[in-house]
Amino acid sequence: MLIAWCLGVPRLTAADEPKQVVYAEVLGKAGEYGVGYEHSIAPRLSLGVAGSYALIRDQQLVTIAPYIHIRIASRNEHSLFAEVGAVFVHSHVPSPVANWDGMTDDGGGGLLSLGYQHTTPRFVVRATVSAMVGEGGVGPAIGLTIGVRP
Amino acid sequence: MKAALLGLLAGCVDIANQGTDWQALSAITGELVPEVGPDPDPLPAPCSLRIATFNVHFADDVDNLVAQIRASTFLAHADVLFVQEIRRYISEPTSRVSRLATALGMTWAYAPAHTVDNGGVHGVAILSKYPLAATAMRQLPYFDQLNAEQRIALRADVMLDGDPLHLVDVHLDTRLVPTDRIRQLNPALTDVGARMVIGGDLNTLEWTWVADAVPLTGEQAVVGQEQAKIVDDFFAYNQFERAVPDDVVTTRAPIVSMRLDDLYSRGLPVTEGAVEHVDGSDHWPVWFDLDRCQM
């Protein structure tokens, strides 16, 4: 339905880059899933933040990722972009047994992403490849995002 | 659809069974029947006891494995060797563990965890230069996930001049989240004893997993909360100590070049230990020395 809706809308120009985007993502910079907000501050630049709270088999993960979104190139409704930012993660592993008290860690690191964006008058769809760097080394992430332009 | 989505969000894995209590090896029959080797020739118990663990990846070539161990600097002098992923086939005249142990001048206790194709079984073993007693195994909690296997813990007491030291050899699942890894591991040190050594292939892949399939590698890189460190913390809470540095690598596969195997001692001080690069498997063995004479 979303695809059909997208195909039925008029083509966009680079000037139609969204001023604001509210989005949901899966397996992106905010972990398993997250929500985010972006605000355009210049024709090619936006500031954004994504965050999530995930509960994975009792493990609690809180992730916040502020970033700069940079449109590298665009043609009609297609564009390539990069994102540079920071990622902060709080992880709490509660003890599932009586003879342990669990473990909590906090960490901060950097984020570099490259992605593709498809834009319609109402929706933004992105696919992103990211590298996150922190005290645990470098980790890749491949995310999918669907956003709306309020 | 809603249930599938909730499953993805929640992790999608469940405990299918909680495992069993410790069962004496002598009480187990059928195709998973364990083996216990004959007592070795008597030896005086040493002050420094070397214990090692080695995932031998099926031990398809026992003669080569024996040669690699004999040629090693540290593993060759192990008094006790925990072995994981060793198989027995009905088509072979003797079990691989019996051939390995006999060639190394050790006795053995072997417990298959499950069957494999072509009439085989797959399990863990404890090899020792000193007599083994009170051999038992327990099935560990089974997690219903992709390509899951029944996992077990094998225990035995190594008799050192009549003084028993409790030993437990474990091999855990691969794609467990940290809480489930502790759930699976904890029974292996329950109802064993105060003075004990536990170790094996803990399969501590660094990441948390979504739906037992997708590793959260990005968040893990940021927070640095590797599963090996979580398991270390669990053992430290239970008064165990270990020897090797946190960042050693015990596997040879590049993608999972991390610490999957380790040893932990409670009640006997660890004096030294390391990972040794010994060929013959896709893992490197870990060893440590315990000082029995300080006690």
Question: Does the beta-carbon distance from B210 to A56 stay under 8 Å?
Answer: yes
Q: Residue B171 in contact with residue B201, Cβ under 8 Å?
A: yes
Q: Say whether B231 sits in a helix, a strand or coil.
A: helix
**In this predicted structure, what is the pLDDT of residue A10?**
43
Q: What are B's interface residues with A at a Cβ cutoff of 8 A? A: 9-11, 13, 177-180, 182-183, 186, 206, 208-210, 214, 216-226, 229-230, 233-234, 237-238
Report the side by side order of strands in the sheet with B23-24: B23-24, B132-139, B152-160, B163-171, B196-201, B261-266
Chain B: closest CA distance from residue A95 (Å): 7
Domain ranges of chain B: 2-291
Interval A37-50 mean pLDDT:
95
Q: Which regions of chain B are under pLDDT 70? A: 1-13, 295
Each residue's pLDDT tens digit, A64-77: 999 999 999 999 99
Interval A26-36 mean pLDDT:
93
**In this predicted structure, what is the pLDDT of residue B6?**
44
Each residue's pLDDT tens digit, B33-83: 999 999 999 999 999 999 999 999 999 999 999 999 999 999 999 999 999
Task: State which residues form the domain around A7.
Answer: 2-148
Question: Does the beta-carbon distance from B208 to A59 stay under 8 Å?
Answer: yes
CA dihedral B55, B61, B64, B65 (to 10 degrees): 20
**In this predicted structure, what is the pLDDT of residue A18?**
65
How many domains does chain A contain in total? 1
CATH 3.60.10.10 for domain B2-291, yes or no, is yes
Task: Decide the pairing of beta strands B107-116 and B35-36.
Answer: antiparallel
**Residues facing residue B273 across a β-bridge:** B288
Each residue's pLDDT tens digit, A105-143: 999 999 999 999 999 999 999 999 999 999 999 999 999
Q: Residue A22 in contact with residue A36, Cβ under 8 Å?
A: yes
**ipTM for this prediction:** 0.89
Q: Is the pLDDT of residue A63 over 60?
A: yes
CA B122 from centre of chain = 13
Question: pTM for this structure?
Answer: 0.91
Question: Does the beta-carbon distance from B9 to A33 stay under 8 Å?
Answer: yes
**In this predicted structure, what is the pLDDT of residue B12?**
54
From B199, B218, B197, select the one nearest B207 (Cα to Cα): B218
Q: Which residues of chain B are within 8 Å of residue A31 when distances are taken between CB atoms?
A: 216, 218-219
Q: Which residues of chain A are within 8 Å of residue B229 when distances are taken between CB atoms?
A: 103
The angle, 0 to 180 degrees and rounded to 10, between the axes of the packed helices B178-185 and B227-237 is 40
